[in-house]
Amino acid sequence: MTLIRIILKRLLSMSITLIGVAVIVFFIIRIVPGNPIAMMLPPGAGEEDIARLKALYGFDKTLPEQFLIWVRGILGGDFGTSITSRQPVMSLVLGRLPATLELSIMALVMAVMIGGALALIGTRQRGGKAEALIDVTNGVSLSVPDFLWGLLFILLFGVLWPVFHISGRVSPALDLPFVTNFYLFESLLRLRFDIWLDLVSHMFMPALALAIPLAAIIAQLLKQSLKETMHLDYVTLARTKGYSENHVILREALPNAILPTLTLVGVQFTFLIGGTVIIERLFSYEGLGNMAIDAVINRDLPLIQGIVILFAVIFTTVNLLVDLTYALLNPRLRHG
């Protein structure tokens, strides 16, 4: 009952958000100076050529007309054609999406594991040296942005002590037998652990760079709410029943302490996905973010629009998933 209401409400606000994003991105990139046609022409092209190209891409029509044509196309599943590569935007963007999703999810898993472990250790050792150390580490991690971590890793583990690949998604020499672009996932399914390891070795540093700030946030917030929860009566009561400190933290305190962290992780995960744009560039990782920067440099308007819409869809979907998980985990909402 409540779940369905939440989904419906969310779907409604999702569509409104997407419409808003479509309008804004369409008009903003047309206000910013820079002309896609000018960049395509060889030097010395005449007025006629320009007019012909403009007509070909529909840039001769008025802005509202262009907008309507674009929206009508989207509703029919057609996002237009990339100006630079002359391929459908849809297939370009969907081709790159798996790379970015795998990177973001890898980073998220790392952040949750590192942040969760630090929060639990800090709670277990509260008041001790371990907790103080964790607090200091958190402070440092929070004050350094992801791309600086990326640069640092490239210097340390790419140049000084080369253990990881610093560029690309997979070694070009490898022959990929895959039918989807979810390489990491498909290599596991096909039991090609050699390729999987190569992928992980490429992905490890960019994912870790994206993960560290989020891990610090998770560690701090989760530790804080665990600490507050540990003083509550039902936790004390569980102790008097003979349960160990570990059991008390994991089974009694954690399920109640985790909700605020979960909400925050949802919001922060969308920031993390935003961070992939620069990180992918830094590590020449062939994902959406890297493609977005190229598209902006080339003034490839249809491609920029497509990528932005896709990012907006990802963000709103993540928010929907967070809300649903929250509702599922919270018995009050589930029965409310």
Partner 1 sequence: MSFLELKNLNARVGPLPILRDVSLQVAPGEVRALVGESGAGKSMIGKAILGTLPDAIRITGGEILLEGEDLQAMSPKDRRRMIGAKVALIPQDPLTALNPARRVGPQICNRLVDILGWRRREAEARVIELLHEVHIPAPERVMRAYPHELSGGMRQRILIASAFAAEPQLIIADEPTTALDVTVQKQILRLIRDMQARHGTALLFVTHDLGVVSKLCQSMTVLFGGKVLEDTSVDQFFSAPDHAYSAALLAATPKYTDPGGSLMPVPEATIHAVEAEIAAHDLAHQTETVRQ
Q: How far is the CB of 132 from partner 1 (least distance, A)?
A: 15
For 240, other C-beta atoms within 10 Å of its C-beta total 7
Ramachandran region of residue 176, left (φ > 0), alpha (ψ -120 to 50) or beta? beta
The site for partner 1 (CB under 8 A) is made up of 126-127, 232-234, 236-244, 247, 252, 255-256, 329, 331-332, 335
Q: Are 184 and 196 in contact (CB under 8 A)?
A: yes
Q: How far is the CB of 123 from partner 1 (least distance, A)?
A: 12
Q: How far is the CB of 245 from partner 1 (least distance, A)?
A: 8
Please identify, using beta-carbon distances, which residue of 54 and 126 lies nearer to partner 1.
126
Terminal CA-to-CA distance of the chain, rounded, Å?
A: 9
Please identify, using beta-carbon distances, which residue of 180 and 240 lies nearer to partner 1.
240
Q: How far is the CB of 302 from partner 1 (least distance, A)?
A: 49
Q: Are 286 and 96 in contact (CB under 8 A)?
A: yes
Please identify, using beta-carbon distances, which residue of 46 and 242 lies nearer to partner 1.
242
Please identify, using beta-carbon distances, which residue of 195 and 254 lies nearer to partner 1.
254
8 is written with which tokens? Answer: 């419906």
Please identify, using beta-carbon distances, which residue of 61 and 126 lies nearer to partner 1.
126
Q: How far is the CB of 237 from partner 1 (least distance, A)?
A: 5
Q: How far is the CB of 112 from partner 1 (least distance, A)?
A: 19
Of 255, 167, 250, 151, the residue nearest 209 (C-alpha):
151
Please identify, using beta-carbon distances, which residue of 86 and 231 lies nearer to partner 1.
231
110 is written with which tokens? Answer: 């790392």
Distant-in-sequence, close-in-space partners of 326: CB < 8 Å, separation ≥ 6: 259, 262, 263, 333
Q: Are 142 and 136 in contact (CB under 8 A)?
A: no
Q: What is the torsional sign of CA 156, 158, 162, 166? A: positive
DSSP 218-268: HHHHHHHHHHHHHTSHHHHHHHHTT--HHHIIIIIIHHHHHHHHHHHHHHH
Phi, psi of 88 (to 5 degrees): -60, 135
Please identify, using beta-carbon distances, which residue of 86 and 241 lies nearer to partner 1.
241
Q: How far is the CB of 306 from partner 1 (least distance, A)?
A: 43
